Structure 1
């Protein structure tokens, strides 16, 4: 298919690459043109200087940018994607954003004759590079059915969870669960060290039992080794948690642990860890 991809960050760059490798005709847009040129050199695709130009003739438009405001700018802005999409085209937004902006874009897309899916992802940079992301999706079944075979290029798991906004709400559930897990893992690593145990040996055993998780399997050793210069940044996690806590205030959900961990991440930021991996929560316990 002829597709466009807007946003070539740590996630979007490899996701767009999987589309090109699968044989789709891909045109990309990125605010940093050097990154777009690099992608085109690597994957033999095309680039455009505006989102409006990038989406010309595309059957499906993918976006993966920073936040609600970034998303509105590239989609509904003066030279945004909605200015260039043709009737019947579909926008698939992979940005982790608010459910509010997802519903807003869904309404605008319908008015203009476009399809829309909010489809935030989980799996991190490694998941994007290896094409094994988990994708939580909100929108219409008929739209999802068209898009599903295409997003399979970089998805291990994808599921339609309800109307527009449902994907973003599900991503909030994902971040709630991660926040608590990482804090628990941080305390476990800290306790093992303080107790004089061989922490690596401990986690080599318990990761196969009831305490096991993706975070434990993939992060315990780097936490022990004090390595955090990779992965999902603290700044991004705080953005996601703030969206989640705002939504909880609207729907009445009680998230005491999530709110507490958000403040712990604020302490990590004060330590200069804005771009550290989220597993850096352990560092605040070792000060």
Structure 2
């Protein structure tokens, strides 16, 4: 028999699967972009660095970066919408098991749209950095009198060994963090709606870990529950939910925690 607790666990599993799928898709887009850049460099290695061919190559790479930036934004936008719905389900599913339906309560997506705008800015900066690094390498190579082959080889090594991996890591962090934030914000807003008609409903902090180093204050908060409209106090910092944008980055970046609906009658 499905209980409120098992419904919550299933909703959290769906969230993790969604974030994993989202990060994989974002990394695939970056991998494709990397391939396109290397193809352009390979073509350049067969020619010469006169002004015409240099401009052609730079224009082509800039176009590819712009194109993949749009692809990445569209992908993340879809993933954030998915995370928003999953965050709503985190509240709706255990309530439904308990015989409470929230279908008549509409959750405005105005906040989601704002969060999408912020995420787009992060991606714009990320891909912009990628473009300027490639352009800088090409320009330095030309100024330094390197042949097209030498420049292509140098950029290839740099892209593979450092810059691309760094960009990919940043893209993964952005995707995971933004999807997690949207999920928790939707859950918080839905809990606030539910609390109006469900007596004794609260929210509970669930420590799910940091991929590199768990935060002691987040571990200490595990299992604690507070009224829905009140803040958790995590390491002395008030937070309405994990990855609360109002909290300092040291408490939110790479945070894998969740907050879930809590009721004393639930198993």
TM-score (normalised: structure 2): 0.24
User: Normalized against structure 1, the TM-score is what?
Assistant: 0.23
More strand by share: 1
**Larger relative contact order, structure 1 or 2 (CA cutoff 8 Å, min sep 6):** 2
More helix by share: 2
